Amino acid sequence: MDTQEAKQRYQQAGTLYQAQKFTEALALIEDLSRAYPENNDLLYARGLCLAGLGRADDAQAVCDQLAKYGDTRADELKARIKAQGSAEPVLRTAAEPAGRSKSVKRYAVVVGAVLVVSCVVGVTALLMRKGPPLKPDGEGMHQLTSSTVDDIAPASKSVPATGRDAREGASSGANSGDGTVSSSKVLMKPLVKGALYGPRWSPDGTFIACQAQDRGVVVLDSQSGETRYTFPGTDPQWHPISTAPCRVYYCRGDGIFTCKLTSPKPADVEHERICDGYMPYPSPDGEKLLFSPKKDRPGFNVFNLTNGTTTEISGASHSPLACWAPDGQRVAYHIPSAGPLPADRKGILIAPASGGAGDQWLAEAISAVWSPQGDRIACVRGDELCVASYPNGAIESISAQGPFTSVTWSGDGRWIAWARGGLDESTGAWRSHGIMAAEVGTKRHVKISDFGDNVDWAPEGLVLALDGGGKGGIWIATLVAESAPVSSP
């Protein structure tokens, strides 16, 4: 594994880890460990992932290894495992009181947002100090946040960002230098306060699903910011058909579950286990699920929600990420350039959802995200975010200011948005550089915010939901770009 490939894998691991997708993050950390064996920093990172997954026995085995090597972080990891197991449930509905016990304040920390500085220093030294977003909270990676979902509260009532409020809430910041529209054209409003990450709009725009720091799923009213539903789980994904009632798929333990939000009373919502597996991604037609069948390993299968059968995407067994084509009949996935597979089996590949291996479509590219119309795929090639026409593969460069995470398309396919960030080489700490958006096919770039680690477009219009990164909370950004002046590229 060369330095560039290791840097890309570490970046992907950090993005997944930051989004509390511990299974995927662990798979990539283990790949790095095989390339850089006998590294205590990566061993400790593996232990944190295992602790985040609730695999106390496996995490304890890592503790024992660290202790055997005389690494004092064994005690830190042991305390983290104990904390993970003893933390009280803290998810509440908006109507419940906001008190917080001392034990929750102490133990409900963001395992997914923190890796200790020694891990970053160790791995980034291997990667020429240009590692990915294993995100800290504060100046040093040892710092943990004690805020929990108890802090969640609507930031404002359903008031549009107009007039004086819009001007005061507008994002401000310097020109990014790659065709940025004046950020005064972005109207920013906080939707809800608290430790929430990874917002995802429901297909009808009614709700926003996200994750709390203790890995619980929280469903917010997209207008008022009030918490409507909470339940244990990770990786919430909406059923794609915009009809009531809304349905959510999510992961809990070693299984994939679903629930219909049919009742305004969370206690009356029924949750159903669908199958074993991890990381569910429903197809655009709502008939299938793309999921990972193996704990802590790459690879994806397709589960048919109608007849309960499972089909293997055999060529994706080495892929850490995959996505659906809008027609629900094809799957795009990527194979990193390092590894034992031949060159024609690497890059972005397209496979039929009916099973079997995919065919190489675009070499030397990773992180495919299909446009809603199916005619383009956003991806990362080297140090650039690109949009490639499908199926001819013609490339349009969007930005060279990465790393690029949380890439998402607008519903009409005209715009893409992404999060930016990087390691501060003086401190080794992760610093978010905010959210960017670009109108595909033009030189129009918009700086949405100076903060944020995850972003998602609303089903319609130029409206985005983003998390606050170090600021916390979920924010709504409205892009007013039609009459905005475009700077030089």
> Model confidence at 266, in pLDDT bands (50, 70, 90)?
confident
Q: pLDDT higher for 110 or 324?
A: 324
> Model confidence at 170, in pLDDT bands (50, 70, 90)?
very low
CATH numbers and ranges of domains, the chain? 3-149 (no CATH), 153-479 (2.130.10.10)
> Model confidence at 385, in pLDDT bands (50, 70, 90)?
very high
Q: Is residue 181 over pLDDT 50?
A: no
Q: DSSP for 250-271, please give it.
A: EEETTEEEEEE---SSGGG--E
Give CA–CA dist 408/19, Å, rounded: 15
Q: pLDDT tens digit string along 68-109? A: 767 778 888 888 787 765 433 322 223 333 333 333 223 333
Tokens found for residue 196: 């929430």
Q: pLDDT higher for 177 or 436?
A: 436
Q: Is residue 460 over pLDDT 80?
A: yes
> Model confidence at 191, in pLDDT bands (50, 70, 90)?
very high
Helix (H) or strand (E) holding 367: strand 366-370
Q: Give the pLDDT of residue 78.
A: 85
**Helices and strands, number each (H, E), in the chain:** 8, 30
Residue listed under structure tokens 């939000």: 261
* Upper half-sphere CA count for residue 63 (Cβ side, 13 Å): 18
Q: pLDDT tens digit string along 228-243? A: 999 999 899 999 987 7
pLDDT > 90 fraction of the chain, expressed in percent and rounded: 35
Q: pLDDT higher for 472 or 439?
A: 439
Indicate whether this model's pTM tops 0.75.
no
Give CA–CA dist 238/64, Å, rounded: 40
Q: pLDDT tens digit string along 279-312? A: 899 999 999 999 988 766 677 889 999 999 999 8
**Residue range 316-331: mean pLDDT, rounded:** 83
Q: pLDDT tens digit string along 4-46? A: 566 667 777 777 776 778 888 888 888 787 777 667 778 888 8
Q: Is residue 65 over pLDDT 90?
A: no
Angle at Cα 48 formed by Cα 148 and Cα 231, nearest 5°?
A: 40
Q: CB–CB of 481/217 below 8 Å? A: no
Q: Is residue 211 over pLDDT 80?
A: yes
Give CA–CA dist 477/465, Å, rounded: 6
Strands, sheet with 330-335, edge to edge from the N-terminal-most edge strand: 322-324, 330-335, 347-352, 359-362
N-term to C-term CA, the chain: 35
Residue listed under structure tokens 């400790």: 44
Q: Give the pLDDT of residue 244.
A: 63
> Model confidence at 119, in pLDDT bands (50, 70, 90)?
very low
Q: CB–CB of 205/459 below 8 Å? A: yes
Q: Give the pLDDT of residue 133.
A: 31
> Model confidence at 54, in pLDDT bands (50, 70, 90)?
confident
For residue 275, the tally of other CB atoms under 10 A from its CB is: 16
Q: CB–CB of 296/30 below 8 Å? A: yes
